[in-house]
Amino acid sequence: MNHKFRTKPRAPELRKHQTALLDALIAGDQTRASEVIEDSISKRWAPTTIYIDLVSHSMAEIGALWHRGELNISTEHRATQIAFRLLALVKHSYPDGSKTGLHAIVSGVAGDTHLGGALIFADLLRFDGWNVDFLGTDTPNDAILEIVKSNEPDLLCLSVTLSEQVSAAAETIKIVKSAAPSTTIIVGGGAINNNGSQNSLETADYVASDPVTALKWTTERFDLGISAKTIQAMLTDLGGRIQHFRKEKGLSQQQLATASKLDRSYVSAVEHGKQNVSFATLKNLSDALDVNIVELIDD
């Protein structure tokens, strides 16, 4: 995804944020929870890190505490609602990735009312540049088939949280494969690897419980690696990063142009992906922005 230039936290710092977020969610302190997420965003952590290693990690911990009887259901529900608000905060703080031209449909299968996993994967696909239709939870087979037939997506993602919903997912796969065999189907969720569920879903193209692994698979399946990117896409990503850092520093285009010894119109063209740049120019821009040049060019 085109947000990999953002920093990766060191393990102690990540653990500190995980502890602070977990405590805030258990206490129902939305303000404090938002501060933890906003601090992670300000540090330019990758959205995948915030989604998976912070929010999802904390909710998994809270779920485990509830199952052990150490938290009541109202505390768990309150934490879940705050977590959804945090995910929205992250989503609106990061732009979608460079458009791939690929289309995905993400949905919970019939009977699955758990929203979190499917929502997270839908957003992570958007960060990777996919056009995503998110259907939410508990979607009947006929509704999924209807939108697949009408929209002809490249990818159908089914979320299965509980073991008892595996049979519904298997039936959905069977119906879709029969009517739209060219659609790639991936299944994920908490039910995977439980009670032989993966064997029951063998007709899917890919089955995974881990959204990060699933994203890597889609990148390989649809050849979305860096080598597949056009020069124009790279310039657009570069311009977006420069603009992000400029705004983060509170600089106008003219101020950045002056500091980097460039013309303002040239800086504008670079930010809009309409201007190729030399290494020397990148060095001037990185110095003016006070960031490592790798953060501008590393994708």
As its CATH architecture, domain 103-225 has 3-Layer(aba) Sandwich (3.40)
Model confidence pLDDT, tens digit, residues 22-72: 999 999 999 999 999 999 998 888 899 999 999 999 999 999 999 999 999
Selected from 3.40.220.10, 3.30.2020.30, 2.60.120.560, 1.10.260.40, the CATH number assigned to the domain covering 230-297 reads 1.10.260.40
Determine the 3-state secondary structure of 172 from DSSP.
Answer: helix
Residue 254's pLDDT band, with cuts at 50, 70 and 90, is: very high
**pTM assigned to the model:** 0.73
Q: Is the pLDDT of residue 1 over 50?
A: no
> Domain residue spans in the chain?
11-91, 103-225, 230-297
What pLDDT does 197 receive?
54
At CA 265, angle to CA 263 and CA 270, rounded to 5? 95
Mean pLDDT across 134-149: 96
What pLDDT does 229 receive?
56
Integer CA distances (angstroms), 208 to 111, 115, 204, in order: 19, 17, 10
Distance CA 131, CA 115 (A): 19
Selected from 3.40.50.300, 3.30.920.30, 2.30.30.830, 1.10.1240.10, the CATH number assigned to the domain covering 11-91 reads 1.10.1240.10
Residue 263 in tokens: 């013309």
Residue 267's pLDDT band, with cuts at 50, 70 and 90, is: very high
Phi-psi region of 281 (alpha: psi -120 to 50; beta: other; left: phi over 0): alpha
Nearest to 278 by CA among 265, 297, 298, 291: 297
